[in-house]
Chain A
Amino acid sequence: MIQMKKVYKKYSNGIMAANGFDVQINSGEFVYVVGPSGAGKTTFIKMMYREEKPTKGTILVDNVDIATLKPKKVPYLRRNIGVVFQDFKLLNRLTIYENIAFALEVIEEQPKVIKKRVMEVLDLVGLKHKARMMPDELSGGEQQRISIARSIVNQPKVVIADEPTGNLDPETSWEIMNLFEEINARGTTIVMATHNREIVNTIRHRVIAIENGVIVRDEQRGEYGYEG
């Protein structure tokens, strides 16, 4: 599904955020990416959807090298990858329904299909009854559910999440994790950067630990392994 071969990333300020990543993530896997702040987690994740371009190396997503992907093709890559952020990234001027439909409108999907799919994912995240509300009328957990719904409405093969529970209280975080579990159970690959030790140690999955731009640990059913 996703394969990194000798991937290096040096930022213009001289920081080496990726110092030879070599990793393979298979279809249907659930992977946590852990490590101290500034270790290279976000770079690792951003390179997967070409928000960042590696300085050197190959990144295969579905057998396409996205490191050398032409800028024109990037939108097509993104359509096969769902992205979820800590700060939800919802548009406050659009309703919940419109926020999710947005992801299908930009790829010029049929209106009938849009309606059907949006209702499906709203049902999945349990917020069908709030479709007409505005994002700021929802709690943080609900907003994150909407952002997850938007990320999967394209039916992507992989969902990439950068600290999805970072802004949420513990109880809500568990609910969000259950949602990711459910999405993963349907066959979607999930790559999640997180600082949440309790979650990593409870809902056991593969753990990739990154420190100073290097993968220091890669274990199936791993542990968080850091204090706090």
Chain B
Amino acid sequence: MVMKARTLSRHLRESLKNLARNGWMTFASVSAVTVTLLLVGVFTALMLNMNKAATDIEQDVEMNVYIELESGQEEIDSLEDQITSLSGVESVAYSSKEQELTSLIDSFGEDMALFEQNNPLRDKFVVKATDPRQTERLATEISDIENIADVEYGEGKIDQLFETLEISRNVGAVLIFGLLFTAMFLISNTIKITIVARRREIEIMKLVGASNWFVRIPFILEGIWLGIIGSILPIGIVTVLYYNVYEFMQPRLQNSFIQILEFTPFIYQINALILLMGVVIGIWGSFMSVRKFLRV
């Protein structure tokens, strides 16, 4: 389908004129798109951040493997080798009790320096599993090794956390799809109403020999406009909202291993997504509704 530039500009003019001519219908469609995209935008932002948090948590699931106090350097080396050779171990980092104390003093202040006289801490390994879900199994295996005093990780809580995250991801996805579907339905219905009013026009176009694409394109362009116009407000609101949330959350999460998604690349990505979704539901909506009127 090669279209001449002149024809395209005619179609563009037509589609804009139609938007203006069907003022209230345009308003209704745009409102439907706006509400949906706003909900979808906020949900998506939430989802993506939750996902990020989940990944952060997953990345950060590590266990502290405490070594028996009386172990010598040789035994420590041998332990490290043993743990490293277990399947599913991503990394093993050694931290001596002196290092532990230094980081404790860093976190809790000079009061902790008292313990420098008699360090009550133990040497430890920080072990990470390749798949965080394997943490529990690894912990059991490691605790069976000789010279290991204790293995610590968020027993039980981690499994629960993963389950919760999994469920909320799925619920979010279903909600977003549901919303998108509703919006497409609303748009397609609204455009259908404006098309019923223009049945005669389509009939005449077909009678004088217009091809289906010639009839269809102005409606599709109209759908695109509806999508674009409908995404303006959601983009604005999501941007302002996320900016404030980011400004509020970011400093508070500074020292946490969970981080909120950086404002700058994220806001462009989500806004592009909102715009794209608007355009897609617009095209789809008009395509569906014009279809049945082309059989003249």
Contacts and interface: CB of A to CB of B under 8 A. Distances in A.
A76 B206 CA distance: 10
Contacts of A111: 6
A108 B6 CA distance: 8
Interface in A26-64: 49, 51
Candidate in B200, B201, B210, B214 with the most chain A CB atoms within 10 angstroms? B210
B4 interface: yes
A108 B7 contact: yes
Given A89-B204, A91-B201, A108-B4, A51 B296 contact: yes
Given A51-B296, A89-B200, A102 B208 contact: yes
A103 interface: yes
A111 B209 CA distance: 18
B10 A83 contact: no
A75 interface: yes
A107 interface: yes
B207 A83 contact: yes
Interface string A6-26: 000000000000000000000
Contacts of A108: 4, 6-7
B5 to A, nearest CB: 11
| Interface band, chain A | 20 to 34
B204 A91 contact: yes
Contacts of A49: 207
Interface string B1-42: 000101100100000000001000000000000000000000
Contacts of A216: none
Interface in A73-117: 75-79, 83, 89, 91, 93, 102-103, 105-108, 111
Contacts of A75: 206, 209-212
A164 to B, nearest CB: 14
Contact of B208 (A51, A72, A154): A154
B204 A78 contact: no
A150 interface: yes
A108 B10 CA distance: 10
B203 interface: yes
A150 B201 CA distance: 14
B208 A78 contact: yes
B128 to A, nearest CB: 62
B35 to A, nearest CB: 31
B261 interface: no
Contact of A78 (B4, B21, B207): B207
B200 A106 contact: no
Interface of B: 4, 6-7, 10, 21, 200-201, 203-212, 214, 296
27 contacts: A49-B207, A72-B211, A75-B206, A75-B209, A75-B211, A75-B212, A77-B209, A89-B204, A89-B207, A93-B21, A102-B204, A102-B208, A103-B208, A103-B209, A105-B10, A106-B205, A106-B209, A106-B210, A106-B214, A107-B208, A108-B4, A108-B6, A108-B7, A111-B6, A150-B208, A154-B208, A154-B209
